[in-house]
Chains A and B, each alone.
Chain A
Amino acid sequence: MATGGEPVLEVSGLVKHYPLTRGVLFKKQIGAVRAVDGVDFTLGRGETLGIVGESGCGKSTVAKLLCSLERPTAGSIRFKGEDITRLSGRALKAVRRNIQMVFQDPYTSLNPRMTVGDIVGEPFEIHPEAAPKGDRRRRVRELLDVVGLDPDFVNRYPHQFSGGQRQRIGIARGLALRPEVIVADEPVSALDVSVQAQVINLLDRLQAEFELSYVFIAHDLSIVRHISDRVGVMYLGRIVEIGRDAEIYEHPTHPYTQALLSAVPVPDPEAREDRERIILSGDVPSPADIPSGCRFRTRCWKARERCAVEVPALAVPAVFLERPAGPAAHDSACHFAQEGRVVPPESSRANGDGPG
């Protein structure tokens, strides 16, 4: 998992608003659901960027925008320097080959009437230049082998497979066109615990084998930490904190990240007593009615007047700039950023006896 070099993806000022309309005949726009509301990040070659956040934070919309399944309202997504949001037709199609998606639900993302061979080979129908016709069958068998499925399964249907195997089929389809970037939206959350580890290991292996860059979207913080080089935390359409995995998990400075980390149940009963949980009050506000200033202020225990009027920028907070750069000096969108000690979700078992 090498980082650095020129970024594969550069996302800046990404916005996606869905209009809310009233009336049947004369549709009048009365507002907008601000699903993604100004997101910036970069993804390096061979890097994995984890994006975490709760339902409704816009993480899945970001995934769709990256794969050009939705058109952004504003902002740009540069793939190797080229802004793909302005492309259309043939040029867009060519770029799409390079950014592929793996979906969450392996039960609904595979067509039940198509055989596995047809599902994995379908990308070649859309992009015939990727593989000559006579070669496709062989390529499909090869792909199934790569993801750990028996190539002789090509003529079976999705219902004949378990959830974990279906997710492997979805991954094989994502790999078919030899993309450089894979956007995985909750790829293991529908799977059983014992199967999740298998799929995570597969994704890890494929990354090394095919030099892939991943955008890994999930709500399970310990899995995201395991697979990611950098992690971005989203809340109500924005990234509120982003940094290297250790910076986010061990030195979080944004109150939302701290609350999120403290809420994760730790698989260690000994830690029950000495952990301090930050219980947030209330629910996430509606993305159609985002609070002024800092969007987290309605649930934040640190909020003051300034938070209601001034939108905090996603940058290294000034307090951390004075001292020599420590792990707390990473981008955090909070006026009152402060390093918080939170028991990270996995460190508790870190000194237990490990598997051989």
Chain B
Amino acid sequence: MLLEVRDLHVEFRTRDGIARAVNGVSYAVGEGETLAVLGESGSGKSVTAQAVMGILDTPPGRITGGEILFGGRDLLRMKEEERRELRGARMAMIFQDALSALNPVLSVGDQLGELFVVHRGMSRKAARARAVELMDRVRIPGAAQRVRDYPHQFSGGMRQRIMIAMALALEPALVIADEPTTALDVTVQAQVMDLLAELQREYRMGLVLITHDLGVVADVADRIAVMYAGRIVESAPVHDIYKAPAHPYTRGLLDSIPRLDLKGQELYAIKGLPPNLTRVPPGCSFHPRCPMARGVCRAEVPPLYEVSEVRGSACHFWRECLDGDGR
């Protein structure tokens, strides 16, 4: 396995008390594989990614437990210098908002070239040439001229391409993309996702795609990890989950997508709101919103039950859910 997160715990100290943002998350990504981490705001999907990249703000954040194995070595036990060498070269991140992730006072050529200067010891001139090549690679028209432009001179889709170019510059083994297309229009989203998928195939990199969009996930992912209130509630190959979800939360999300045959009828809606992370409900954190909840759900935290060799569900009643009961 390229990346293995094991039982990760992250807390934030807030005015209202301790927020348990990540509460025992485990997942793994192999070479050339795409893992989609699906969740709503506050589910802990981005915090997990920040912990993997080592860009978590500490304080207020604190990693209180777990391991993050990258190529077999625990990142959490490494020295900061070692991690810095890995970042950019072996693992890279693509952010949602390219405009705030890029430096506004440096030309995109300088920002792309910097990677080669710092990590590969290239001269400025050689680095500039590589920057143009990269911009060509992500299909930015007129790369040779545009290399001198600043981020604000590009459209949203083009900026996102530059972010992708920057992430892939040193051909990392692992890329984490945090909502890479959420800010983009659908036609541009299609262009960017296509490009990302193509480059991933070419470089055989592992991709962790963080998103809330069930459509994007179905399009590109091999496996899905569904997060809720800091936990993974279901983890499965993409085809299994869409065919028959084994957790009522996953099922609720899929059912709330508007469908043709239900036009004019009420949409299925998961009742209530995601919990406040400083006061996560006892037992299964989804129980106040769950149509299947019973006494045991309020008392016992469900472990990730083994549904099949490649599939897990953190629901006491996953069998019923899988059979489609209790809606």
Q: Which of B217, B267, B324 has the most CB of A within 10 A?
A: B267
Query: Inside 8 A of B271's CB, which chain A residues have their CB?
Result: 198
> Which stretch in A12-20, A23-31, A96-104, A341-349 binds the other chain?
A341-349
Pair B191/A192 contact, Cβ less than 8 Å? no
A349 and B257 within 8 A (CB): yes
Chain B residues 181 to 196 lying within 8 A of chain A, measured CB to CB, are: 185-191, 193-194
Residue interface mask B190-232, A partner, CB < 8 A = 1: 1101100000000000000000111111110100000000000
* Neighbouring A residues of B263 by C-beta, 8 Å: 225-226, 245
User: How many positions in chain B have a CB within 8 Å of any CB in the partner chain?
Assistant: 51
Q: Specify which chain A residues have a CB less than 8 angstroms from the CB of B218 in the assembled complex.
A: 265-269, 271-272
> Contact at B258–A346, with CB atoms within 8 Å?
yes
Q: Give CA–CA (A252, B14) in the complex, Å.
A: 51
Identity of the chain A residue whose Cβ is nearest the Cβ of B186 in the assembled complex: A263
Contact assessment for B216 and A270 in the assembled complex, using a CB-CB cutoff below 8 Å: no
Residue of A whose beta carbon sits closest to that of B139: A281
Interface string of A256-288 (1 = CB under 8 A from B): 000110111111111110000101101100000
Contact B256 A197 (CB under 8 A): yes
Q: Are A193's CB and B212's CB within 8 A?
A: yes
The residue of chain B having its C-beta at the shortest distance from the C-beta of A52 within the complex is B186
Of A70-78, A173-181, A215-223, A313-321, the one touching chain B: A215-223
On chain A, the residues within 8 Å of B158 by CB distance are: 283
Q: How far is the CA of A340 from the CA of B218 in the complex (A)?
A: 23
Q: How does the 8 Å CB contact mask read for A312-356 relative to B, with 1 for contact and 0 for none?
A: 000000000000000000000000000000001111011101111
Instruction: Say whether B260 contacts A54, CB under 8 Å.
Output: no
* A3 close to chain B: CB less than 8 A: no
Is residue B17 within 8 Å, beta carbon to beta carbon, of the partner chain? no
Tell whether A264 pairs with B186 under 8 Å between CB atoms, given A344-B260, A345-B215: yes
Number of interface residues of A (CB under 8 A): 52
CA distance A168 to B266 in the complex (A): 17
Which chain B residue shows the least CB distance to A271?
A: B218
* Given A204-B266, A267-B215: A355 touches B257 (CB 8 Å cut-off): no
A58 to B: closest C-beta gap in Å? 14
Q: Is the CB of B186 within 8 A of A195?
A: no
Closest to B215 in A: A265
User: B residues within 8 A CB of A198?
Assistant: 269, 271
A55-B185, A265-B218 are known contacts. Are A194 and B256 too (CB-CB below 8 A)? yes
Distance in angstroms from B312 CB to nearest chain A CB is: 18
Q: Quick check: B270 and A260 within 8 Å, CB to CB?
A: no
Please name all residues of chain B whose beta carbon is closer than 8 Å to the beta carbon of A264 when the two chains form the complex: 186, 215
Number of A-B contacts (CB under 8 A): 133
A279 to B259, CA, bound (A): 24
Q: Which residues of A contact B258 (CB under 8 A)?
A: 200, 222-223, 225-226, 346
Q: Mark B74-109, 1 if CB is under 8 A from A, else 0.
A: 000000000000000000000000000000000000
In the bound complex, how far is the Cα of B191 from the Cα of A201, in angstroms?
32
Contact indicator B260/A346 (Cβ below 8 Å): yes
Partner of A197, one of B212, B215, B260, B267: B267
Kindly state whether residue A164 has any CB partner on chain B within 8 Å: yes
A194 and B270 contact, CB distance less than 8 A: yes
Q: Is the CB–CB distance between A265 and B261 below 8 Å?
A: no
Is the beta-carbon distance between A54 and B239 smaller than 8 angstroms?
no
CB-CB under 8 A for A355 and B219, given A263-B190, A280-B187: no
Asked if B54 is at the interface of the complex by the 8 Å CB criterion, the answer is: no
A279 touches B191 (CB 8 A): yes
Contact partners of B141 in chain A: CB under 8 A: 282
Q: In the complex, are the beta carbons of A201 and B40 less than 8 A apart?
A: no
A201 touches which one: B188, B257, B267, B274 (CB < 8 A)?
B267
Whether a CB of chain B sits under 8 angstroms from the CB of A87 is no
Across-interface contacts of B266 in A (CB, < 8 A): 201, 204
Asked if A263 contacts B259 (CB within 8 A), the reply is no
Is A42's beta carbon under 8 Å from chain B? Answer: no
Decide yes or no whether A21 CB sits under 8 A from chain B: no
Give the one of B188, B259, B262, B268 with max A CB within 10 A: B259
Chain B residue contacts of A204, Cβ below 8 A: 266
By a CB distance below 8 angstroms, the chain A residues around B214 are 193, 267
Q: State which residues 41-72 of B face A: CB under 8 Å.
A: 41
Which residues on A sit within 8 Å (CB–CB) of B40?
192-194
Assembly CA distance A270 to B259 (angstroms): 16
Given contacts A222-B258, A346-B258, A349-B254, 7 further A-B contacts (CB under 8 A): A192-B212, A225-B260, A263-B187, A267-B257, A269-B218, A349-B257, A353-B324
A–B complex contacts, Cβ < 8 Å, 26 sampled: A162-B273, A164-B273, A193-B214, A193-B253, A194-B269, A194-B274, A200-B258, A225-B260, A260-B187, A263-B189, A263-B190, A264-B215, A265-B213, A266-B219, A267-B215, A267-B217, A268-B218, A271-B218, A279-B191, A280-B187, A280-B191, A283-B157, A283-B158, A346-B257, A346-B258, A355-B255
- Residues of A near any B CB (own CB < 8 A): 1, 54-55, 162, 164-165, 192-198, 200-201, 204, 219, 221-223, 225-226, 245, 259-260, 262-272, 277, 279-280, 282-283, 344-347, 349-351, 353-356
